[in-house]
Amino acid sequence: MRLKTSLAAAGLAAALVLTGCSGAANQSNSGQDGAALTIAKPDGAITTESHNPYLGDSSASKYGYAKVMFEPLALVNPTGDLGTTPWLAESVEWNDDYTQLTVVPRSGVTWNDGTEFTGDDIVFTFDQYLSGKLTDTGGLNYEGATVDGDAITLTFADSKFTAQARVLHTPIVPKHIWENIDDPNTDPLTDEGLAVGTGPYVLANWSTESVTLNANPDYWGGDLAVPTLNYVSYGDNAALTTALVSGEADWAQAFIPQIESSFLAADEHNEFLVSPTAGAGTLFMNLQTKPFNDPALRQALAWTIDRDAYVDIAREGASEPIWNVTGLGSLLESEIIDEYKGVEYSVDVDEAKQLLTDAGYTWPGGALTDPDGETVSFSISVPAGWSDWNTEQALLAEELDEALGIEVTVDQPDWGGWDAARQEGTFQAIIHWLEDTGNAYGLYTSTMDPKWIVDGNASFNFGRFDDPAVTEALNTYANASSDDERQTATAVLETAFAEQVPAIPLGAHPLLGEFNTRNYVGWPSLDDHYSSADPTQPGIVQILTKLEPAE
């Protein structure tokens, strides 16, 4: 994914200003005659008020309304074309090694208290990291800014090629407000006049039951079709589903079992969009102990596990299978080197058994036995209540027993026990997500990079793969100053992954969105995947500017 701004992207952003981003731009009063949208989450009561966009545990982050108040420099699409749309910046441009980002602030933007937005707000926002006033939880390693006319160049200590979205999605805050905040790491912004942003919606009311925001009448993007957003948190997925079906809620991000019968069939206007990302649900194996310290066994599993069953049964269609031997899904096909284009796994038990036979495995009595004469068995661990991956555990146990004679024990601990085991390396196999960087690096750093092992604890690379040549290629990929250099590193990474099988991606990790078209159209779709339909993602501001009243 190369996120240098194209003229088309810059033109699109400019068009948003001129047209109000939708057919609703010509309506008066920011669509105040339209219906409100209720955005639902299944997180239970959110009891503490905080509008701080930098705090992961603030109510603004938990409900998700921070995304419609505080805007970023640009929106990076995590699905579709993986492209970038300038937002608060009229243009964004990286230098060749991605250590410098040059942006031009958008003109004609005001904060919702009427103060003009300028480049000083951008510099101030990032300088908070430089001064240490704001903790750099995202590891941006920002070093400072220079200004040349309208252009601002932000400099970073290392390449941000694999963290472009992290930089571009940084919430920009008003200097005239935040320079007077003593501790932006803790301030809830609940005092009068502090919750000030450039976004399309303005905070109107907060309670533990719901949060209401009204359309910003002076929004730089033009008039908005939706006059009011109501954010509501339900007790669990079941309550959220009931609210969606009854029409009490309009928009959510949730995995809903039997979604066809429980949600889609309830109303012809109900819609569900699955947006694949560059991440994947992945089987991680402990490479340090039997049976997974043998690459032959891992290769055999890769030829046995049914990724279609994972998608169709465990995920109920809310994913897409990953069969390529490089572990890369369809969004990243352009990064697959020629040697591996079209080189796919399949469910081929004969191939799996031949690999095992060649490596000295046997089947006395039907149970797979390793070259040391020990019966092969292992446990696979996923927290109880993770219904999709719990289903996949059962599928894997059945597939591997029937095909290869491997006894698989299904382990479903509580979160704490699972978390400790994955960090400490005391598990045998787990299903886990990947670091999603929007490019091939995410898969390979997540599964083969020793940087994630600190003081014996792993935050990725749970199998503890370690190969100096691969580590060097990962560093080259992340810091390359040319596409050719990065392509050379990619070849090393893909070859190592295909030959050594350090992990087995099952299916693309999706962003999900449930919504209805009773009152509004213009939502993202498979035909126009300009964003995911997940209302917790930064792309929600783009969706809200594209929605139009339904006829």
Q: Give the CATH H-level superfamily of domain 35-69+199-269+517-550.
A: Periplasmic binding protein-like II (3.40.190.10)
Domain ranges of the chain: 35-69+199-269+517-550, 70-186, 275-510
Residue 100 burial by Cβ neighbours in a 10 Å radius (0-12, 13-18, 19+): middle
pLDDT value of position 551: 85
Which residues, given as ranges, of the chain have pLDDT below 50? 1-31
Task: Provide the sign of the torsion angle of the four alpha carbons 528, 532, 535, 537, taken in this order.
Answer: negative
Q: Given the DSSP bridges, would you call strands 37-41 and 251-252 parallel, antiparallel or unpaired?
A: parallel
CATH (residue range 70-186): 3.90.76.10
CATH (residue range 275-510): 3.10.105.10
Tell me the whole-structure pTM to 2 decimals. 0.90
pLDDT value of position 237: 86
Q: Which amino acid is at 202?
A: V
pLDDT value of position 15: 34
pLDDT value of position 32: 53
Q: Which amino acid is at 208?
A: T
Same fold, 35-69+199-269+517-550 and 275-510: no
pLDDT in tens, 185-199: 999 999 999 999 999
Question: CA 416, CA 434: separation in Å to the nearest integer?
Answer: 19
Torsion of Cα atoms, 16 then 18 then 19 then 25, to 10°? 110
pLDDT value of position 252: 97
DSSP-assigned letters across all residues of 241-302? HHHHHHTS--EE----TTHHHHTGGG-TTEEEEEEEEEEEEEEEE-TTSTTTT-HHHHHHHH
pLDDT value of position 45: 86
Please answer whether residues 87 and 136 qualify as being in contact, where contact means their C-beta atoms are separated by less than 8 angstroms. Answer: no
What is the DSSP code (8-state) at residue 141?
A: -
